């Protein structure tokens, strides 16, 4: 069974200080788990449930409700293209098409070498700098096909 | 005009506490701790400040619903789950001036008697999360948070809680559920959070912008704040403008500013070759305005209502003449279907059904009667659910079809999108 590292255990201990119930720490503890394991497998859900004295079913329900907990491994570079109206008005569709062509994968897929995962996401509150994407934990804004080429070249 | 919210946006590194203090930051606390909490509530009530998250409810009045018996812990939650398409003002406040929010949190917590406050920030906000966490840590270090702030005897713990990707957690009871470690299912009201909210205790949920206004009100007084804006929509408001305009971005203007003036002066007009066709004035949930209405309406709650729309979150989305309205609405249909939490059948089925019909209509595969079918779905979704997510699609849907019906009909007759 999966185990939390000493660093994760310390973080969880600290997190629990801030809530009157253990269950309230579920979202932050899932973040710690995803940081350590890269994604949330059923084994990790069991571990989180045990750590917080809540049922695995509850943890499963929560993990599947939120889009940011990964239920399968993702590439080292996770590219998330915003497709909601303000970005769509500024050409998000062609940005996505360009990325699909360049990476040779479709939205929702990962390259065979595990380098890139390409996703679409809903509004990331960056509408004034559309079209945009989120690369791992960073926003890339005011995109053009040329900027995408430069970005991919730097990441390969 | 005094800038209430954006005065530090051009001050380099205003997110650092020493820089913020140099601009007069945390000065309002001196006055705060000479006042009784009930007087703070009265001052904010009298300022006319209305919640900036979208609903526009009087902030002071909302606070006054907290029971005064002191039997239970009181909680303050900061709604930093900014997810309404077209809205990106809170992100700017969190990135550029996070201490203004912390100062506002202290004021609100003191007013309602909260000793614990949480900032619920959306999971995708990376830089804003880093900035607000650092700001909170700095504020603790300087004694603005923790036990007995500035030797006042009033103590406050503030903690940043990161969401994980769900639009519905911006709804205040969805946010509370999420903070308790559950799916973000909105709760049936009553009981309202002020009576029974987080951990079954009295709770106030306030938007980032609302709280960020408070230091100014404390510093200059309610009357000076009221002097800005209109009689019923007081003060300034942040508007975030997107679409093919010259200068998209976040701007602070007095309430009551004519929309056409805002689009020209702040947004700089349309990009070359683009002609304005429509504007969604307050985030994607609000009824759309046509070009004629854009000429006539002002940026305040009452003027928007007179045109059948709403000020909402202040997310101004500009749609150009060459963009298909069916495509625009289909995009929103998909968004709301994706974000419906699934609790209530009229919303779960209604948004999904509308999204499917809109997608086929846009693809030129619509069937006779589809347009009226959409209107019928919208009517049946409205007011039939625990929260207003269903209405948030029904409202744009009804207004898009009412104001741009020929574009929808063209898709049926041509069996394709005329704009390709």
Q: What is the CATH number of the domain that holds A89?
A: 3.40.30.10
Q: Does position B1 have pLDDT exceeding 80, yes or no?
A: no
pLDDT for the residue A13: 98
Alpha helices in A53-144 (DSSP H): 56-65, 85-89, 92-103
Candidates B167, B201, B203; CA nearest to B186 is B167
Q: A68 and B165: CB-CB below 8 Å? A: yes
CA distances to B41, B103, B298, B396, B419 from B281, rounded to whole Å, are 30, 29, 10, 11, 24
Q: At residue A1, does pLDDT exceed 80?
A: no
Tell me: do B131 and B248 sit in the same domain: no
The CATH code of the domain that includes B404 is 1.20.1440.230
Quote the pLDDT of residue B70: 84
Q: Is residue B240 part of a domain?
A: yes
Give per-residue pLDDT as tens, B213-223: 999 999 999 99
Distance (Å, whole) CA B109 – CA B103: 10
Residues B97 and B245 in one domain: no
Shared domain for B204 and B262, answered yes or no, is: no
CB nearest to B184's CB, from A52, A65, A89: A65
Same domain? B270 vs B331: no
Domain finish residue from A36, A65, A94: A65
Q: Which of A65, A85, A109 is the last residue of a domain?
A: A65
pLDDT score of B169: 97
Q: Please report the pLDDT score of residue B2 as a whole number.
A: 82
Output the pLDDT for position B52: 95
Query: B218 in a domain, yes or no?
Result: yes
Do residues B155 and B161 lie in contact, with contact meaning Cβ atoms separated by under 8 Å? Answer: no
What is the rounded average pLDDT of the residues A110-122? 97
Q: Are residues A109 and A47 in the same domain?
A: no
Q: Is the pLDDT of residue B315 over 80?
A: yes
* A35 and A97 inside one domain: no
Q: Which two tokens stand for residue B320?
A: 């150009």
List the structure tokens of A59. 């943890």
Tell me how many degrees the CA angle B411-B416-B419 measures, rounded to the nearest 5: 85
Which structural domain range is residue B399 located in? 325-414
Which tokens in the block code for residue A122?
């809903």
Of B165, B240, B335, the CB nearest to A66: B165
Q: What is the 3-state secondary structure (H, E, C) of B113-161?
A: CCCEEEEEECCCCHHHHHHHHHHHHHHHHCCCCECCHHHCCCCEEEEEE
Q: Are residues B52 and B187 in the same domain?
A: yes
A106 and A46 part of one domain:
no
Q: How confident is the model at residue B247 (pLDDT cuts 50, 70, 90)?
A: very high
Q: How far is it, in rounded angstroms, from Cα B174 to Cα B186? A: 4
Euclidean distance between CA atoms A7 and A32, whole angstroms: 10
For residues B83-103, average pLDDT = 98
Please check whether residue A13 lies inside any domain of the structure. yes
Residues B176 and B315 in one domain: no
Residue B67 belongs to domain with CATH number: 3.40.50.11540
Question: What is the pLDDT, as a whole number, of residue B359?
Answer: 98
Q: Which of B177, B194, B226 is the last residue of a domain?
A: B226
A52 belongs to a structural domain: yes
Residue A71 included in any domain: no
Residue B2 lies in a domain: no
Report the pLDDT averaged over residues B124-144: 98
pLDDT, residue A55, reads: 98
If asked whether residues A92 and A147 sit together in one domain, one would say yes
Q: Do A89 and B323 touch (CB under 8 A)?
A: yes
Considering the domain architecture, whether residues A24 and A54 belong to the same structural domain is answered as yes
**B351 in A contact zone (CB under 8 Å):** no
Pair (A59, A96) in one structural domain: no
User: Do the Cβ atoms of A89 and B332 come within 8 Å?
Assistant: no
B88 neighbourhood in chain A, CB within 8 Å: 125-128
What is the pTM (predicted TM-score) of this model?
Answer: 0.97
pLDDT, chain A, mean: 97
Same domain for A39 and A100: no
Cβ within 8 Å, pair B164-A83 = no
Task: With respect to residue A72, please indicate whether it lies within any of the assigned structural domains.
Answer: no
Chain mean pLDDT for chain B: 97
Percent of chain B, pLDDT > 90? 97
Substitution target in A22, A127, A129, A135 with the highest count of B β-carbons within 10 Å is: A127
Which range marks the domain in which residue A126 is found? Answer: 77-155
Q: Are residues A10 and A52 in the same domain?
A: yes
Q: Are B138 and B17 in contact (CB under 8 A)?
A: yes
Give which of B175, B34, B14, B203 is closest to B108, Cα–Cα: B203
Asked if residue B49 belongs to a domain, the reply is yes
Residue B147 pLDDT class (50, 70, 90 cuts):
very high
- As a whole number of angstroms, the distance between CA B335 and CA B284 comes to 10
**pLDDT at residue A121 tops 80:** yes
Verify whether the Cβ–Cβ distance B335 to A126 is below 8 Å. no
Asked whether residue B111 falls in the same domain as residue B194, the answer is: yes
Instruction: Please say if the pLDDT value at position B55 is more than 90.
Output: no
B47 phi, psi to nearest 5 deg: -70, -20
* Contact call for B243 and A86, based on CB within 8 A: yes
**B65 and B187 within one domain:** yes
Residue B43 lies in a domain: yes
B176 has a chain A CB within 8 A of its CB: no
| Domain annotation covers residue B216 | yes
What confidence tier does B293 reach under pLDDT thresholds 50, 70, 90? very high
B317/A85 touch (CB, cutoff 8 Å), yes or no: yes
Q: Do B273 and B366 sit in the same domain of this protein?
A: no
Residues 6 or more apart in contact with residue B349 via CB below 8 angstroms: none
DSSP, collapsed to helix, strand or coil, labels residue B186 as coil
Q: Rounded to whole angstroms, how far apart are CA atoms A135 and A99? A: 13
* B151 and B268 in a common domain: no
The tens digit of pLDDT for each residue in B15-32 reads: 999 999 999 999 999 999
Supply the CATH number for residue A46's domain.
1.10.10
Looking at the 3D structure of chain A, how many domains does it have? 2
What local confidence, expressed as pLDDT, does residue B39 receive?
97
Tokens 């909601």 appear where?
A84
The predicted structure's pLDDT at residue B285: 96
Residues of A with CB under 8 A from a CB of B: 18, 20-21, 23-28, 30-31, 52, 54, 58, 61-62, 65-69, 83-86, 88-90, 121-130, 134, 137-139
Which of B320, B339, B368 delimits the end of a domain?
B320
Check residue B238 and give its pLDDT.
98
Domain-embedded: residue A70: no
B323: contact with A, CB 8 A cutoff: yes
In a domain, A18, yes or no: yes
Cα(B174)–Cα(B106) distance, rounded to whole angstroms? Answer: 24
Would you state the pLDDT for residue B420? Answer: 72
Phi, psi of B234 (to 5 degrees): -85, 160
Answer yes or no: do B407 and B362 share one domain.
Answer: yes
- B1 belongs to a structural domain: no
Average pLDDT over residues B22-48: 97
B340 shares contact with chain A (CB less than 8 Å): no
Task: Characterize A81-118 residue by residue with b for buried, 16 or more Cβ atoms within 10 angstroms of its Cβ, and e for exposed.
Answer: bbbbbbbbbbbbeebbebbeebbebebeebeeeeebbb
Helical axes B208-220 vs B37-47, angle rounded to 10°: 100
Kind and range of the H or E run holding B399: helix B389-414
Domain closes at, from B294, B320, B346: B320
**The predicted structure's pLDDT at residue B54:** 86
Residues in A touching B318 (Cβ below 8 Å):
89
Residue at which a domain ends, from A65, A86, A116: A65
Domain count, chain B: 3
Q: In this structure, are B83 and B190 located in the same domain?
A: yes
Q: Say if B46 falls within a structural domain.
A: yes
CB contact under 8 A, B123 and A66: yes
């Amino acid at each position: 069974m999966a185990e939390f590292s000493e660093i994760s255990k310390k973080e969880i201990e600290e997190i629990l200080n801030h809530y009157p119930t253990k269950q309230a720490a579920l979202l932050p503890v899932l973040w710690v788990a995803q940081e350590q394991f890269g994604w949330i497998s059923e084994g990790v859900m069991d571990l989180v449930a045990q750590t917080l004295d809540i049922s695995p079913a509850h943890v499963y329900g929560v993990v599947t409700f939120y889009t940011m907990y990964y239920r399968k491994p993702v590439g080292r570079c996770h590219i998330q293209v915003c497709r909601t109206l303000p970005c769509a008005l500024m050409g998000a569709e062609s940005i996505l098409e360009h990325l699909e062509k360049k990476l040779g994968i479709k939205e929702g897929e990962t390259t065979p070498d595990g380098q890139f995962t390409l996703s679409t996401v809903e509004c990331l509150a960056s509408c004034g700098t559309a079209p945009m994407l989120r690369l791992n934990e960073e926003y890339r804004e005011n995109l053009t096909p040329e900027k995408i080429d430069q970005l991919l070249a730097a990441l390969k | 005009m005094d800038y209430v919210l954006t005065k530090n946006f051009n001050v380099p590194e205003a997110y650092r506490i020493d820089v913020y203090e140099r601009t007069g930051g945390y000065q309002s606390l001196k006055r705060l701790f000479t006042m009784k909490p009930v007087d703070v509530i009265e001052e904010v009530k009298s300022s006319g400040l209305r919640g900036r998250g979208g609903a526009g409810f009087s902030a002071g009045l909302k606070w006054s619903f907290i029971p005064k018996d002191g039997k239970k812990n009181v909680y303050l939650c900061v709604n930093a789950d900014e997810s309404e398409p077209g809205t990106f003002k809170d992100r700017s406040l969190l990135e550029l001036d996070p201490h203004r929010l912390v100062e506002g949190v202290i004021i609100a917590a003191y007013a309602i008697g909260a000793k614990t406050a949480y900032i619920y920030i959306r999971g995708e906000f990376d830089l804003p999360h880093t900035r607000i966490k650092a700001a909170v840590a700095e504020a603790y270090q300087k004694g603005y948070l923790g036990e007995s702030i500035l030797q006042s005897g009033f103590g406050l713990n503030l903690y940043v809680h990161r969401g994980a990707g769900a639009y519905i957690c911006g709804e205040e009871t969805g946010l509370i559920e999420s903070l308790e470690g559950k799916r973000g299912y909105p709760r049936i009201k009553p009981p309202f959070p002020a009576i029974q909210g987080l951990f079954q205790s009295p709770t106030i949920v306030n938007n980032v912008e609302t709280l960020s206004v408070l230091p100014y009100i404390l510093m200059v007084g309610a009357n000076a704040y009221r002097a800005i804006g209109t009689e019923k929509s007081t003060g300034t408001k942040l508007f975030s403008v997107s679409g093919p305009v010259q200068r998209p971005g976040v701007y602070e203007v007095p309430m009551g500013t004519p929309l056409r003036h805002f689009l020209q002066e702040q947004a700089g007009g349309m990009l070359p070759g683009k002609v304005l066709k429509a504007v969604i004035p307050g985030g994607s949930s609000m009824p759309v305005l046509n070009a004629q209405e854009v000429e006539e309406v002002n940026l305040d709650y009452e003027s928007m209502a007179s045109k059948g729309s709403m000020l909402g979150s202040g997310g101004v989305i500009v749609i150009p003449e060459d963009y298909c309205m069916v495509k625009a609405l289909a995009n929103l249909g998909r968004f709301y279907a994706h974000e419906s939490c699934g609790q209530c059948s009229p919303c779960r089925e209604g948004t999904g059904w509308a999204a499917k019909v809109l997608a086929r209509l846009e693809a030129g595969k619509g069937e006779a009667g589809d347009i009226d079918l959409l209107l019928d779905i919208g009517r049946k979704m409205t007011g039939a659910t625990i929260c207003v997510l269903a209405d948030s699609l029904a409202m744009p849907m009804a207004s898009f079809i009412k104001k741009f019906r020929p574009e929808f009909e063209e898709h049926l007759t041509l069996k394709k999108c005329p704009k390709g």
